[in-house]
Amino acid sequence: MSWEDDRTDIRPCPCGKGNSSVTYRSDDWGRHDEVWSMHCPQCQKTYGLYCYVRNYEMISETYYLWVPKQDLRELENLEAAIQKHEDGVAAYLEHQYGVQWMRHFEGKSKKRVWTELTNDGQCYPQLSTFYGQVRGVGLERVLSGYLRYDTVDTVTHLLNLRDSMLASHVRRMESLKSKLVAKNKLIRAAGVR
């Protein structure tokens, strides 16, 4: 089941003095692939390949663009900063509120716990999914899974927290995340195919 080259497109490179190519390949399973290569020595130094996936209903498609390496580095740095902050928020929640969070649910039925976590079913997960999670890893693991950035609102709300340190962590995360969205948008608008 090997890949076969279907055709190769030659395109001008971003600096205009050379070219790049895209080879379209497919295999016996009906899978498609693209191989992007830069042939201009100048652009090899300054441009890198940026890749992103877009989902249309059930189909996801991968897109490629040539973008300045500087932009790729900035993206990497932003993503690393976000990861670091996410880890920081999780560690902070665990350290400051881990015990209080577990105690909050002590003696409550599973249904009651679910009702609180989802604001009576208004957000993920459905009751049956929740029961499945509890059966799978135990209630304690499910609950400790909430001590992270994505669910910080749930923890803050249920424990009725007024924590300015936590709030500033969250604001910093929001700002980093919106920077990342803006950066990706810029790159996609300016990238060269």
Kindly tell me which residue out of 3, 11, 18, 116 binds Zn ion, with binding defined by CB under 5 A.
18
- Whether 170 and 152 have beta carbons less than 8 Å apart is answered as yes
**Residue 15, interface with Zn ion (CB under 5 A)?**
yes
The count of residues interacting with Zn ion (CB under 5 A) is 7
The residue type found at 173 is M
Question: What DSSP element (H or E) covers 38?
Answer: strand 32-38
Over the window 43 to 62, marking each residue x when it contacts Zn ion by CB under 5 A and - when it does not, the resulting string is x-------------------
In the complex with Zn ion, the residue whose CB is nearer, 40 or 147, is: 40
**Residue 38, interface with Zn ion (CB under 5 A)?**
no
Nearest-approach distance from CB 66 to Zn ion, in angstroms: 9
In the complex with Zn ion, the residue whose CB is nearer, 13 or 155, is: 13
**Residue 40, interface with Zn ion (CB under 5 A)?**
yes
Q: Is 60 helix (H, G, I), strand (E, B) or coil?
A: strand
In the complex with Zn ion, the residue whose CB is nearer, 20 or 143, is: 20
In the complex with Zn ion, the residue whose CB is nearer, 15 or 181, is: 15
User: Pick from 176, 179, 156, 164: which is nearest to 86 by CA?
Assistant: 176
The residue type found at 100 is Q
The three-point CA angle 9-13-19 to 5° equals: 55
Q: What are 98's two structure tokens?
A: 């881990």
**Residue 42, interface with Zn ion (CB under 5 A)?**
yes
In the complex with Zn ion, the residue whose CB is nearer, 17 or 84, is: 17
Q: Is 120 helix (H, G, I), strand (E, B) or coil?
A: coil
Nearest-approach distance from CB 12 to Zn ion, in angstroms: 8
As a whole number of angstroms, the distance between CA 85 and CA 94 comes to 14
Per DSSP, helices labelled H in 4-68 are 41-46
**Residue 184, interface with Zn ion (CB under 5 A)?**
no
Nearest-approach distance from CB 48 to Zn ion, in angstroms: 13
Q: Is 65 helix (H, G, I), strand (E, B) or coil?
A: strand
Residues that bind Zn ion (CB under 5 A): 13, 15, 17-18, 40, 42-43
